[in-house]
Structure 1
Amino acid sequence: MEKLIEKLGAWHDSEVDELNDLAHAIARASSMEEMVASKQVYELQHIKVDTIWDAIEMIQKQK
């Protein structure tokens, strides 16, 4: 179980880095269309990060 949590944690960290990059893309958007598109990708990435975190918590509760 610890190995799985460790791997999920590493994946989570990687996806959080991507989420941060997407947040910067929103801030750097040069048009409203670009900002909206970046925000949509950001929201999907945020769901992914939350899902990975939920999986980690679920595994920790089963220990």
Structure 2
Amino acid sequence: MARLARVEVLAADEIAIVHVTNRVVRRYFLLGNDPVTGKNFDHRKRWLDEQLIHQARHFGIDLLC
């Protein structure tokens, strides 16, 4: 199923609050516990928060989290 392009969904001249997600690889756990391997990836939460804050400084966005 084809998705609409962002340009068709978001107006460039309007301010919007957008929840953006992306799936990178099937069965890949970025955070939390992987039930199959038993590995815990909670150590990535701080790194991810720091990266989001860093990136927000360079782009015209505010993080609401």
TM superposition score normalised by structure 1:
0.34
Higher helix share goes to which structure? 1
Higher relative contact order, chain-length normalized (CA < 8 Å, sep 6+): 1
Give the alignment's TM-score, normalised by structure 2.
0.33
